[in-house]
Amino acid sequence: MIEFQDVSKIYPNGTQALNRVNLRVEDGEFVFIVGASGAGKSTFLKLITCEERPTEGEIIVGEQKLSELRRGEVPYLRRMMGMVFQDFRLINKMTVYENVAFAMHVVGASSREIRRRVPYILGLVNLQDKARCHPRELSGGEQQRVGLARALVNNPKLLIADEPTGNVDPALSFEIVDLLSEINKRGTTVLMVTHEHSLVKKFRRRVVEIRSGSVVADSCTWEVAR
């Protein structure tokens, strides 16, 4: 569960990125976050991951009030999250297998667990035949699926996807969201930031629209994003 309670964020230069946002996302939901560039979407995500702290208000992730979270506890909060980025952020000198395994090494997983888990996740995103390839040998869609596998390998409760289809072809965009939908059906909460209204219309999930730092619409249909 994620809850924003009267959350505002003002940056040191005076820019108000969010203005008294109230929002609740239940466990197991799939929510599209939409809005123009500069609307506050990225700040919204950064507050959830504690990359930024709110100027006012309270944010709750799971049962944790983020205002009470010490700096040293932030990495443990992030372990319950998976992140998928527009620019993939893969390590080019590593193979597909190694890129995904690296996320498990970081949290101290055993070699045995890595050998068991990584092939399973690569199969889930249909990349089992690409395990020994390097990112430069893959298409954009395949690279994003590696990013998705890396985000999923530690079995996160929450998956945050920041414009995950921004660097892939339109046809592959639907494939990526299909995968996210399947992951959501397995119980993972998904927050996806997107500019692609065609995706929002097709998948018909909850849509939260942010405009000038405020939530201006929150609907269970795609009409809000037209």
The pLDDT, as a whole number, for residue 187 is 92
The token duo for 70 is: 């010490």
pTM comes to 0.89
For residue 9, what are the β-bridge partners? 18
The pLDDT, as a whole number, for residue 20 is 97
Non-local (6+) Cβ contacts of 199 within 8 A are 32, 165, 173, 174, 177
The token duo for 195 is: 């500019």
Q: In terms of Cα–Cα distance, which of 99, 50, 47, 52 is closest to 75? A: 50
The pLDDT, as a whole number, for residue 221 is 54
Each residue's pLDDT tens digit in the chain (226 positions)?
899 999 999 999 999 999 999 999 999 999 999 999 899 999 999 999 999 999 999 999 998 999 999 999 999 899 899 999 888 889 999 999 999 999 999 999 999 999 999 999 999 999 999 999 999 999 988 999 999 999 999 999 999 999 888 877 877 888 889 999 999 999 999 999 998 888 898 898 999 999 999 999 998 754 544 4
Non-local (6+) Cβ contacts of 15 within 8 A are none
The pLDDT, as a whole number, for residue 168 is 79
Question: Hey, what domains does the chain have and what are their CATH numbers?
Answer: 2-80+156-225 (3.40.50.300), 92-155 (no CATH)
Tell me if 58 sits within 8 A of 5, measured CB to CB.
yes
Residue 33: its H or E element: strand 30-34
The pLDDT, as a whole number, for residue 225 is 42
Q: In terms of Cα–Cα distance, which of 106, 112, 99 is closest to 144? A: 99
Cα gap 198→129, rounded to integer Å: 31
